[in-house]
Structure 1
Amino acid sequence: MYSKDLLNQISAIANEVPLHLIKLLAANVEGMTVDNWFYARNQVVQSMPQPNLRAQVGQLLDTWHRENPTLTPQSLALALLAAAQTADQRRRSQSTSLVWTGPTSQGPALRRTDQALLQVINTARQYLLVVSFAVYKIANIRTALVKAAERGVTIKICVEAPEPSEGKMTYDTIKALGKSISKHATVYIWPKDKRPQTDDGKYGSFHVKCAVADEELLFISSANLTEYALTLNMELGVLIKGGPQPRNVTAHFSRLMEDGVLVPVEE
């Protein structure tokens, strides 16, 4: 039975350290002679170029020596290489692209904001999270959301509500989304009693704008779900496919919902 600490440390190094350094580490580990442990350990640690990496490698070697001493140097080296190769392939599979609304330039062509958001919505097959400060005049987005619901996608939408403590909104966000959306999606707000407050009584604002499909495709933008933001304003964002970020954002908002920081509202 291998130590959980050892496995976690191998995984951490694989995810945080460049592949060429892990190859160097694995080669040095594979050549270790454990008869003189402290000398061999010091040689491997000192082969690493940065102090923080030397400390991390030292901790890994100590955990190996203490908790799994029967594991051969060759086996540990292979585990490091396998984990690093997997992490490197995952990083390479991730792609990012800039998204823009506004005047064009002579520079590289950028994706349009509405195109990127529609891609996220249309990609979703199981779960869709949409987060925005403001929502109005979004006919094409609303149509895409309806189609997602018809595909059986679970849709959760988080929006700002200026008067959440009374269950009201100064403009009707549910109406802006449309009955077809509110019927198929769960809409969440950040209640006033859950928000930080300054000494003079001002509350924090729900100013996030993002969308995530199936924990695989993440769109982060300065743009709200409004006609002007998607077509007229200057807005900048990034579209991220693959990697840990889409999953991490989904998990973060799920925890906020589970903890009651974000609460569902009735129409």
Structure 2
Amino acid sequence: MTEPTPVLFIHGLWLHSASWQPWIDLFRHEGYDPSAPGWPGDPESVEEARQNPESIADHGIDDVVEHYAEVIRKMEARPILVGHSFGGMIAQKLLGQDLAVAAVAIDAAQIKGVLPVPLSALRSTLPVFKNPANRHRAVSLTAEQFRFAFGNALSEEESDALFEQWTMPAPGKPLFEAAAANFNPHSPAKVDTANSGRGPLLLISGGMDNTVPETVTRATLKQYRHSDAVTEFMTFPNRGHSLTIDGGWREVADQTLAWLRRQDLDAAR
């Protein structure tokens, strides 16, 4: 008797793990065994997170990686990882540690070694970097800041609706760690990009993403040039950072499923 293949969804900054629910429903319908545990300290709901930002504050990249590694260790089989934004970086780190059979990193935060820092990315993260004390705090976005960072490819109405539905405070620490990555030889943003024995990796980019512009994702792809493992790139030219939660999420999810099948990572193991 075959068992369904586990899929672990990892959210990024400012979005609650519940934002993956449409993906979970789709992947379960396709025969996978999906789940989307939150980051350490994440409350169960968006409303609770907004009311209790202290529980989220001061968690860094290593904390989050170890949190998901512990989740994986309790699973019966290594999962497929699907991560968005900082969740995409976390997925790459876990894949490099051979804790997953494959990973899909969507608009992933830049890893150590990636040099481009486009102006739009700086503007997207300014709400955190404008105050050094935010390293140890949880920071919220305004609807206008969300529209620039996530919803720039959407109507104002859709962006504002997504903001109300899914946004929550986010720890500033991972952003400070990523920003200093290329000056720190032991940076937590370092990924084992040379691992040739790992499972396949798909890097997905939104061509209109202000937070993680396509130049960043293409530069990430180059970091894997010394690995013989499968590493592929896919772009959605007219999409922004909201591509996993907006009205076009299904196209991204369907392409993700198609890619997994091309890697012989079917719903049953």
Compute the TM-score of the two structures, normalised by the length of structure 1. Answer: 0.28
The structure whose residues are more often helix, as a share, is: 1
Compute the TM-score of the two structures, normalised by the length of structure 2. Answer: 0.28
The structure whose residues are more often strand, as a share, is: 1
